[in-house]
Amino acid sequence: MTEKEPAAPPGLEAHLGYCLRRVSNHVSAAFARSLQQQHVSVAEWVVLSQAAVRPEVRPAELADRLGLTRGAVSKVLDKLEGKKWIVRRTMADDNRVQLLSLTRQGQRVLPQLAEIAGRNDERFFGCLDAQEQDTLRRLLLKLSEFHCIRDVPVE
């Protein structure tokens, strides 16, 4: 018996990164489909969530935090503004800067979207018991912290 080759997994499954991606893509795709039924993209959900958590956030800060260009953020904001979920206000001191905030409608919609995310989580991770879920979360957080992953994933 060799030590290195498990013989069964035919190459790709040997890589942890591959296993992670396979599972992650599956959950994310399901989530994206659920959102899409409400005509919401993942980027919109992430931007809306971030704007809710950081009142008066600026587009530039969102771009940094999300790992997108300002142009890309600008377009997402166009969509969210079109839905009347956020408003862009010009800062009094510096007219170049925009301050973002959720409208009442945006505040009402956010928990509905969060519930979609919650249901998606439940459906997918429900096959793990509480302790396993905890372990998984702990390992993911350890990886996040070790590598200083602060970016909010959009794609």
Partner DNA sequence: TATTGTTATACTCTATAACTATA
Partner DNA sequence: TATAGTTATAGAGTATAACAATA
- Work out the angle at residue 130's Cα, subtended by the Cα atoms of residues 125 and 16, and round it to the nearest 5 degrees: 55
Q: Which residues make Cβ contacts (< 8 Å) with residue 67, sequence separation at least 6?
A: 151, 152, 153, 154
Residue with tokens 């997994």: 9
By C-beta, is 1 or 148 nearer to its own copies?
A: 148
Q: Decide which of DNA, its own copies, none touches 41; Cβ closer than 5 to 8 Å per partner kind.
A: DNA
Contacts to its own copies from residues 17-36, by CB under 8 A: 17-28, 31
Q: What does residue 90 show for φ and ψ, rounded to 5 degrees? A: -85, 135
> Does 147 engage in binding with its own copies (CB under 8 A)?
yes
CA 5 to chain centre: 36
Q: Print the binding letters for residues 56-95 with DNA: x by CB under 7 A, - otherwise.
A: --xxx------xxxxxxxxxxxx---------x----xxx
Distance CA 137, CA 131 (A): 10
How many residues in the chain? 155
Q: What is the rounded CA–CA span in Å between residue 48 and residue 114?
A: 11
Query: Judged by CB under 8 A, does residue 53 bind its own copies?
Result: yes
Q: Please, what is the Cα angle at 54 between 42 and 67, to 5 degrees?
A: 45
Which listed option, its own copies, DNA, none, makes contact with residue 49 (CB within 5 to 8 Å by class)? its own copies
By the rule CB under 7 A, 150 interacts with DNA = no
Residues that bind its own copies (CB under 8 A): 10-12, 15-28, 31, 46, 49-50, 52-53, 114, 117-118, 120-121, 124-125, 127-128, 132-133, 135-137, 139-144, 146-147, 149, 151-153, 155
Residues that bind DNA (CB under 7 A): 41, 43, 58-60, 67-78, 88, 93-98, 154-155
